[in-house]
Amino acid sequence: MAKGVLVDLTKCIGCRGCQISCKGWNEMSAQKTVMAGDLTNPPRLNAHCYTHIRFQEDEKEGGPVWSFVKDQCFHCKNPACASACPVGALKKTEKGPVTYTFERCIGCRYCMLACPFYIPKYEWEKVVPWIRKCTFCSERIAADLVPACIKTCPTGTMIFGELDDMLKEGRDRITANPGKYVDHIYGEKEAGGTSWMYLSAVPFEWLGFNTRIPAKELPDLTWAYIAKIPAVIGVVLVAGAATWAITRRNQNMDKEE
């Protein structure tokens, strides 16, 4: 059965334990970063940070409202990134995670263009760069473990379980707490539905969520768009494959030396 996550943003205290445990589990190195003038650090998701806590300040009924937003891949039910990938490097798995096989990747970056949530990041600084994004801890889920970020969270902001149960829990919380949440589970319908879903006390557009995503699966739209530029695809594929072959050859030569 497919797994899902319900993220209740009203419970998040911005401790960033999830951010740190994700880096630890995925063996990502620490990076120099900057404070952007608020409590967000690093400033945005990047290739060294699969999940990220964003501080957001808004106003409601004349008073300030502070929110912390956890960003990561939504693991769409029918992901546009996987559909746009010409070599099958990204795949939706039965248990929910959208996984990435770097050995297949040719660096064309179509997934970055296709994702309506702007999630995949590229290792621009590397000689042999790969795409990076949250893995939904697929290897932990396969071993019946909870994703690292969820395991760490001290407030129960995220709950993990069967996708349908998570959706039902989201609806139940909205019904049982009139006025506490906006009447919208973000991810229930966006892009045809996602495995990570959100509850919030303030409208999702205030929190920087893309609220213009249609409530239907996007792969068909993605390919309708990409099909209009076949020549570009060809050039990018050939260039990507050539770059990949050259860098692999260089690596092998380095090893032999």
Residue 72 in the binding site for ligand SF4 (CB under 6 A): yes
Read out DSSP for 211-256? TT--SS--HHHHHHHHTT-HHHHHHHHHHHHHHHHHHHHHHHHHHH
Residue 67 in the binding site for ligand SF4 (CB under 6 A): no
Closest separation in Å from C-beta 14 to ligand SF4: 5
Strands 90-92 and 98-100: antiparallel
Q: In the set 6, 69, 85, 137, which binds ligand SF4 (CB under 6 A)?
A: 137
Residue 196 one-letter amino acid: W
The interface with ligand SF4 within residues 156-175 (CB under 6 A) comprises 157
The answer to whether the beta carbons of residues 241 and 86 sit under 8 Å apart is: no
Please tell me the distance from the alpha carbon of residue 67 to that of residue 202, in angstroms, as a whole number. Answer: 9
- Which DSSP symbol is given to 86? T
Task: Using the structure block, give the residue that is written with the tokens 């932990």.
Answer: 140
By beta-carbon proximity to ligand SF4, the closer residue of 57 and 251 is: 57
The interface with ligand SF4 within residues 75-104 (CB under 6 A) comprises 75-76, 79-81, 98
Closest separation in Å from C-beta 195 to ligand SF4: 8
Contact range with ligand SF4 by CB under 6 A, out of 115-123, 197-205, 207-215, 247-255: 115-123
Query: Which tokens in the block code for residue 186?
Result: 């973000």
Please tell me the distance from the alpha carbon of residue 213 to that of residue 194, in angstroms, as a whole number. Answer: 12
By beta-carbon proximity to ligand SF4, the closer residue of 50 and 204 is: 50
Residue 136 in the binding site for ligand SF4 (CB under 6 A): yes
Count of other CB atoms within 10 angstroms of residue 164: 11
Q: In the set 49, 53, 197, 201, which binds ligand SF4 (CB under 6 A)?
A: 53
Distance of CA 160 to the CA centre of its chain: 16
Residue 238 in the binding site for ligand SF4 (CB under 6 A): no
Please tell me the distance from the alpha carbon of residue 78 to that of residue 194, in angstroms, as a whole number. Answer: 8
Q: Report the DSSP beta bridge partners of residue 63.
A: 60
Contact range with ligand SF4 by CB under 6 A, out of 40-48, 114-122, 177-185, 237-245: 114-122
Q: Which spans in 46-142 are helix H? A: 80-84, 110-114, 138-142
Distance of CA 157 to the CA centre of its chain: 17
Q: In the set 15, 39, 113, 182, which binds ligand SF4 (CB under 6 A)?
A: 15
Contact range with ligand SF4 by CB under 6 A, out of 8-16, 175-183, 221-229, 231-239: 8-16
Which spans of this chain sit near ligand SF4 (rule: CB under 6 A)? Answer: 12-18, 22, 25-26, 50-51, 53, 68, 70, 72-76, 79-81, 98, 115, 117, 119-120, 133-137, 147-149, 152-153, 155, 157
